[in-house]
């Protein structure tokens, strides 16, 4: 059985959600790709920032 880390789960969720957001929220393929990349970056970036915030709150 494959063990998936929390970070990998966040990256997979960000990937799938960004693909859906890009396809459903923009009209042209170029804009879809740019918006999907933007959403992916925000998902992963916010997960990293929030994990550090929680780390320092727990200490």
pLDDT digits (tens, 9 = 90+) for 10-50: 999 999 999 999 999 999 999 999 999 999 999 999 999 99
- Within a domain: residue 46? yes
Q: Number of structural domains, the chain?
A: 1
pLDDT of residue 49: 97
- Within a domain: residue 35? yes
- Within a domain: residue 1? no
- Within a domain: residue 47? yes
Residues 6+ apart with CB under 8 A from 23: 32, 36
- Within a domain: residue 11? yes
Flag whether pLDDT at 1 surpasses 80.
no
- Within a domain: residue 25? yes
Q: Which domain holds residue 30?
A: 6-58
Torsion sign over Cα 40, 43, 47, 48? positive
- Within a domain: residue 22? yes
Flag whether pLDDT at 2 surpasses 90.
no
């Amino acid at each position: 059985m494959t063990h998936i880390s929390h970070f990998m789960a966040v990256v997979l969720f960000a990937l799938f959600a960004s693909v859906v957001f890009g396809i459903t929220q923009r009209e042209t393929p170029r804009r879809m790709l740019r918006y999907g990349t933007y959403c992916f970056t925000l998902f992963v970036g916010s997960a990293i920032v929030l994990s550090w915030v929680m780390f320092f709150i727990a200490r």
